[in-house]
């Protein structure tokens, strides 16, 4: 063997030893580094994570964000080309506060149960992916305040344990295939400064809307459209209730609308395609509504005049039993 070849082999061995030693030292100083490298390995060969390399500063890596102590507190993966399942090793990042995964159609498989180990996790978004399977009940061990699981392929029930999350204020699981009942107190503790939001539209939820949501004064939105919900929902309406958007459309709800007090703050109301009876509430002209849909119900009687009523076209009232008056034909 020539001297040149021997020298080259010695240099390569020295480089590998130096790289290994540097990675070990970084792992000692930066306890999140092994988890990040494990996450990369579980994702497989993905161009979006090509720069996640041993021997480099993980706080400069794209999609991972550190605090002042060099601990990873956020993972953002949005609009990148990834074809894989979600790595369970994300659950090893014990200082993680935010996970946001959005617009990655190639992301499949379930939400790992290991995410329940993230006791500091506050904001958790998985949106517009092909993630499937049930919502892990282990997430009740986290510190969630805001969740969006919109537009995935999630199935199963919303875990009842989620009502044990004391700070959860926003929950969006719309456009999935969830079944079963809505847990009472899924979001709670709203204030004027931090109103609640619940969006469960376009699923296969059944049963009644829990009355606990009628006792919450502050909602930014309450949307449960296009499910299979039954029963009374009149308790959601009170004049003093601070809610801007109520969408109950496309269910099998049945209650008398005539005595309902339209919330003073309400801007959007859709109760179409239900089994709602009675008449148009007398409180409607005094409201601030800018969008209204009462169509495809069993309402009867004269539409009250005055106030804001000129905003709404006939389509807002059509396909009821016997409504009349402007903008419909006179009584």
Quote the pLDDT of residue 28. Answer: 54
Q: Which residues of the chain have pLDDT under 50?
A: 1-27
Q: Is the backbone peptide bond immediately before 327 cis, with ω within 30 degrees of 0?
A: yes
Instruction: Let me know: does 204 contact 182? Beta carbons within 8 Å.
Output: no
The strands making up 252-253's β-sheet, listed across from edge to edge, are 132-133, 153-157, 177-180, 204-208, 228-231, 252-253
Contacts of 184 (CB under 8 A, 6+ apart): 163, 210, 211, 212, 213
Quote the pLDDT of residue 193. Answer: 86
CATH T-level assignment (fold) for domain 63-285: 3.80.10
Contacts of 21 (CB under 8 A, 6+ apart): none
Quote the pLDDT of residue 7. Answer: 42
DSSP calls for 269-328 = EE--SS--EE---TTGGGS--SEEE--SSEEEEEPP-STTGGG--GGGT-SSSEEESTTS
Q: What is the pLDDT of residues 15-47, one digit of tens each?
A: 444 444 444 444 456 899 999 999 999 999 899
Q: 42: part of which helix (H) or strand (E)?
A: helix 33-43
Quote the pLDDT of residue 4. Answer: 47
Quote the pLDDT of residue 43. Answer: 95
Tokens of 297: 């119900």
What DSSP state is assigned to residue 164?
Answer: G
Tokens of 132: 């499937």
How do 298-302 and 277-278 pair as beta strands? Answer: parallel
Q: What is the pLDDT of residues 163-192, one digit of tens each?
A: 989 999 999 999 999 999 999 999 988 888
| Residue 207 bridge partners (DSSP) | 229
Q: 78: part of which helix (H) or strand (E)?
A: strand 72-78
Contacts of 170 (CB under 8 A, 6+ apart): 145, 146, 147, 148, 187, 196, 197, 198
């Amino acid at each position: 063997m020539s001297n040149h070849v021997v020298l080259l082999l010695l240099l390569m061995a020295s480089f590998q030893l130096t790289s290994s030693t540097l990675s070990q030292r970084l792992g000692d100083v930066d306890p999140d580094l092994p988890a990040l490298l494990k996450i990369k390995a579980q994702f497989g060969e993905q161009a979006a994570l090509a720069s996640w390399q041993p021997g480099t500063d993980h706080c400069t890596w794209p999609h991972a964000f550190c605090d002042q102590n060099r601990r990873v507190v956020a993972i953002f993966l949005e609009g990148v080309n990834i074809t894989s399942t979600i790595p369970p090793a994300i659950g090893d990042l014990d200082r993680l506060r935010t996970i946001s995964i959005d617009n990655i159609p190639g992301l499949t498989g379930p939400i790992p149960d290991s995410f329940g180990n993230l006791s500091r996790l506050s904001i958790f978004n998985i949106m517009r992916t092909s993630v499937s399977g049930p919502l892990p009940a282990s997430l009740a061990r986290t510190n969630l305040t805001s969740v969006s699981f919109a537009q995935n392929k999630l199935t199963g029930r919303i875990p009842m344990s989620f009502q044990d999350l004391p700070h959860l204020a926003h929950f969006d699981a719309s456009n999935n295939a969830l079944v079963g009942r809505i847990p009472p107190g899924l979001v709670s503790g709203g204030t004027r400064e931090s109103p609640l939001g619940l969006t469960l539209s376009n699923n296969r939820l059944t049963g009644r809307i829990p009355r606990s949501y009628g006792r919450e004064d502050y909602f930014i939105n309450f949307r449960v459209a296009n499910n299979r919900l039954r029963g009374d929902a009149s308790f959601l309406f009170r004049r003093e209730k601070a809610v801007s958007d109520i969408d109950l459309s496309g269910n099998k709800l049945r209650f008398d609308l005539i005595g309902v007090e339209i919330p003073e703050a309400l801007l959007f109301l859709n109760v179409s395609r239900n089994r709602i009876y009675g008449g148009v509430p007398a409180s409607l002209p005094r409201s601030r509504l800018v969008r209204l849909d009462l169509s495809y119900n069993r309402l009867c009687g004269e539409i009250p005049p005055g106030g804001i009523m000129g905003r709404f076209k006939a389509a807002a009232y059509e396909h009821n039993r016997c409504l009349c008056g402007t903008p419909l034909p006179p009584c």
